[in-house]
Amino acid sequence: MENSQYVILKKEKFNDFISALSKMQKLVAPVTKGYKNYAFEEVTSGNKIALKYIPTILPLKKFFMPQRETLLEFKLDRKSTAEAVVEYEPVTIFGAHTCDLAGIQCLNMVFSERPKDYNYLTRKGKITLIGLECNEYCDEYASCHLVNASFPGGGYDLFFTDLGGYFIVHVNTSSGDDVVTAAGLLDKADTTHINELNLLRDQKRKIFSNEVPIKASLITELFDVTFRARVWKDLEERCLACGNCTNVCPTCYCFDIKDDLDLSLRHGVRYRVWGSCQLEPFARVAGGINFRKDRSARQRHRYYRKFRYPVDRFSRFFCTGCGRCTRTCMASISLKETLNELIKESEDRVWKKWL
């Protein structure tokens, strides 16, 4: 690690730093929303920020990909016209955990593919992203280490790590450097600070371990041999098809496009809203045919979209181990339990050496 990339912020200056951030542009950070519930909301003071929290109810994608977003305004008069709309607001996000940072990296890949999603990319360009390291597991639902998301892997402007009396801050982009300069409250890190960070990371490697008894490199092969596993039928009997799991997932990006007309039927807007592969109408096509009518097929599709399909396309998992899907499931379907059941069910002879 190079000292030039790191600065420190003493704890007694934290409130001043947050105040300075909020004056630069809108600032959001994790705040407490009742017992064991947290959400990213606008703040102006460091006193309201939850520095130790389990993943928020909704992931950061709500800032990058709003739940409802206007795309087009149109008029159907004698001369029809349409004007594209890009809704965005400059905002700084403070306190993003590594699982959420990984989720944004996944969305960046998806929306940067051709045809590029300029609404998403424009909004992304207006967001300053500041990460906050988890020094220990947030709770029993997390599986971030399994999917290589327990340590910082880029995708941020600044990254904070709590080292007791101070934060050590990794400056990752020119935007992050601009924030440090504008705040004027951070000092250059020296070798002692870097060594303390290394010690913390060494300790984390002892704390964070595979939450499921399988190597990450073998997960894709697990899904190759369990497409017709019995566990999918078990999930079918339990799943309520409510769509909670996809709504709270940091990497689910399916959406629906709708048009709204006013009473004159001459003016309207086209907008997109979050969709869910767990809802019955999602896979219904012309003629009323539904190629994923059964809940077992929809649940299987969700898991494969996290652990199998994106590996071929993007060379990474689209599960970030945040645990939100398990926490929010009204049927108590657990991602880690499902993976364990898939491991147990497989009887392939090659698979035996992985147990």
How far is 269 from 259, CA to CA, in rounded Å? 6
Find the domain containing 303 and state its range.
216-354
State how far the Cα of 117 lies from the Cα of 247, in Å rounded to an integer.
20
Of 153, 177, 207, the residue at which a domain comes to its end is 207
Among the candidates 207, 237, 272, a domain finishes at 207
Residue 349's pLDDT is: 45
- pLDDT for 79 equals 87
Q: How far apart are CA 148 and CA 68, in angstroms?
A: 31
Residues 164 and 267 in one domain: no
pLDDT tens digits for range 230-269 = 999 999 999 999 999 999 999 999 999 999 999 988 999 9
Residues 72 and 190 in one domain: yes
Domain tally, the chain:
2
Within this chain, do residues 202 and 289 fall inside the same structural domain, yes or no? Answer: no
Q: Please indicate, yes or no, whether residues 35 and 112 belong to a single structural domain of this protein.
A: yes
pLDDT at 354 over 90: no
Helix axes 14-24, 174-183, angle to 10 degrees: 120
165 and 107 part of one domain: yes
pLDDT in tens, 69-99: 999 999 988 889 999 999 999 999 999 999 9
Verify that 203 and 221 share a domain, yes or no. no
Let me know whether 199 and 223 are in one domain.
Answer: no
Residue whose tokens read 């920020």: 49
Residue 138's H or E segment, with its range, is none
Query: What is the token pair recorded at 82?
Result: 């349409």
Structure tokens at 163: 């080292």
Tokens at 188, concatenated: 């250059």
Boundary (domain end) residue, out of 178, 207, 236 = 207
Task: Report yes or no on whether pTM surpasses 0.85.
Answer: yes
151 with 295, same domain: the answer is: no
Residues 144 and 244 in one domain: no
Angle (CA) 106 111 114, round 5°: 130
3-state SS, one letter per residue, for 2-68: CHHHEEEEEHHHHHHHHHHHHHHCEEEEEEECCCCCEEEEECCCHHHCCCCCCCCCCCCHHHHCCCE
Cα–Cα distance measured from residue 244 to residue 329, given in angstroms and rounded to the nearest whole number: 6
Q: Which pLDDT value is given to residue 77?
A: 85
Q: What is the mean pLDDT of the chain?
A: 94
**By the 8 A CB rule, do 138 and 343 touch?**
no
Does 174 share its domain with 49? yes
Residues 53 and 193 in one domain: yes
Portion of the chain with pLDDT greater than 90, in percent: 91
22 and 171 belong to one structural domain = yes
Q: Evaluate whether 64 touches 123 at the Cβ level (below 8 Å).
A: yes
DSSP 226-245: -TT-THHHHHHHH-----HH
